[in-house]
C-alpha cells in the first residue's frame, strides 16, 4: 500500500471528524474547511482515510453519506457492526458502539458490510 502523505487537508479533515463527535457529510466538511481544499481533494482524503481504517461511512435516514471516526479498525479489519443513531430533529448521526445487534441470516448468505441506522430524537433535542 502506498504511504499516505500527511497533507494540511488530511490533517484538518482528520481533526474535524475527530473533534466533531458526530458523523459529518462531505458538504458539512467543505463548509468547515472554509476553502482549504476543493471538493475533489476532500473526497480523495476521505477515501484514503477509509482505506486506512481511520474513518468509516454512515448513511443517514435521508440517504446522505456521512463520515465518522473509527475506534477499533485497521487497514485490514473494519468493524462497523455497531448502531448509528440519526436524529430526526437536528440531523446529527452518532455512533452507538456499545450496541451491536446480532443478525442471523441463512448460511447461504455471506455478509460483507452492515449499516444499521436507527432514527429518532437524540438526547440533545429531547
pLDDT per residue as tens digits for the range 58-116:
888 888 999 999 876 666 666 666 788 999 999 999 888 777 677 888 999 987 777 78
Cell of 36: 482549504
Mean confidence (pLDDT) of the chain: 86
User: What is this structure's pTM?
Assistant: 0.79
Tally Cβ neighbours within 10 Å of residue 40. Answer: 8
Name the phi and psi angles at 7, rounded to 5. -80, 165
Question: Using CA of residue 94, residue 100, residue 79, residue 113, what is the dihedral sign?
Answer: negative
Amino acid at each position: 500500500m502506498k504511504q499516505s502523505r500527511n497533507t494540511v487537508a488530511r490533517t484538518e479533515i482528520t481533526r474535524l471528524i475527530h473533534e466533531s463527535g458526530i458523523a459529518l457529510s462531505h458538504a458539512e466538511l467543505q463548509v468547515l474547511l472554509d476553502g482549504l481544499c476543493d471538493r475533489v481533494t476532500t473526497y480523495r482524503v476521505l477515501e484514503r482515510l477509509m482505506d486506512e481504517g481511520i474513518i468509516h461511512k454512515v448513511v443517514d435516514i435521508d440517504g446522505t453519506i456521512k463520515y465518522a471516526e473509527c475506534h477499533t479498525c485497521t487497514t485490514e479489519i473494519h468493524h462497523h457492526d455497531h448502531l448509528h443513531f440519526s436524529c430526526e430533529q437536528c440531523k446529527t448521526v452518532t455512533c452507538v458502539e456499545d450496541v451491536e445487534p446480532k443478525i442471523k441470516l441463512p448460511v447461504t448468505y455471506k455478509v460483507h458490510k452492515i449499516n444499521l441506522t436507527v432514527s429518532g430524537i437524540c438526547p440533545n433535542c429531547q
